[in-house]
């Protein structure tokens, strides 16, 4: 027996009860320009091989660009980068200015001053409802120190970095 139809509003509210990090996913568009959008669906998959994934809405402005690109970059944002998260969540033009990137020529664009970053080669795309799951093999990684920008119940927040001597 199929499950009863879920109330979409209740489902959205329940999903919003899960605090997430805030990231920028970036790639190159069909003209070779670096482009990005804000995501909160990033997660680790495997250490060996080193894999990560994120989910892209089928109706996303950059769907065709990410669908065609063999690479993507994910930059985990710090609280002071909230303006970037807002911008790339609403941007009409998702192009990334060269001064915001670590290496403007890299196939998987990474943002400067990100708390962590992952440059990935796409190894799989899985259709899943109204999204596609993009799985990438991590080619390079960077992790810095500091607080993380979070999103919970439609609001930004922060996850403070642990202090010396604190337990996980």
State pLDDT tens for residues 56-107. Answer: 999 999 999 999 999 999 999 999 999 999 999 997 889 999 999 999 889 9
The predicted model scores a pTM of 0.92
Does residue 51 sit in helix, strand or coil?
A: strand
Return the CATH class of domain 21-159: mainly beta
Query: What gap in Å lies between CA 90 and CA 159, rounded to an integer?
Result: 24
pLDDT digits (tens, 9 = 90+) for 128-155: 999 999 999 999 999 999 999 999 999 9
Query: What gap in Å lies between CA 42 and CA 53, rounded to an integer?
Result: 6
To 5 degrees, how large is the angle CA 117–CA 121–CA 125?
A: 110
Going from N- to C-terminal start, the domains of the chain cover 21-159
Residues forming a β-bridge with 134: 54, 125
């Amino acid at each position: 027996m199929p499950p009863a139809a879920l109330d979409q509003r209740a489902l959205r509210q329940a999903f919003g009860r899960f605090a997430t990090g805030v990231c920028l996913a970036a790639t190159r568009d069909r003209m070779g320009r670096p482009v990005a959008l804000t995501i909160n669906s990033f997660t680790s998959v495997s250490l060996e091989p080193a894999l990560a994934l994120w989910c892209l809405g089928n109706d996303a402005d950059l769907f065709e660009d990410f669908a065609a690109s063999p690479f993507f970059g994910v930059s985990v944002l710090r609280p002071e980068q909230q303006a970037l998260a807002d911008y790339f969540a609403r941007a009409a033009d998702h192009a990334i200015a060269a001064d915001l990137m670590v290496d403007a020529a890299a196939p998987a664009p990474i943002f400067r001053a990100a708390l962590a970053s992952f440059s990935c080669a796409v190894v799989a795309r899985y259709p899943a409802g109204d999204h596609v799951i993009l799985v990438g093999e991590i080619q390079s990684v960077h992790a810095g120190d500091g607080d993380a920008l979070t999103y919970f119940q439609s609001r930004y927040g922060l996850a403070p970095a642990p202090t010396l001597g604190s337990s996980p």
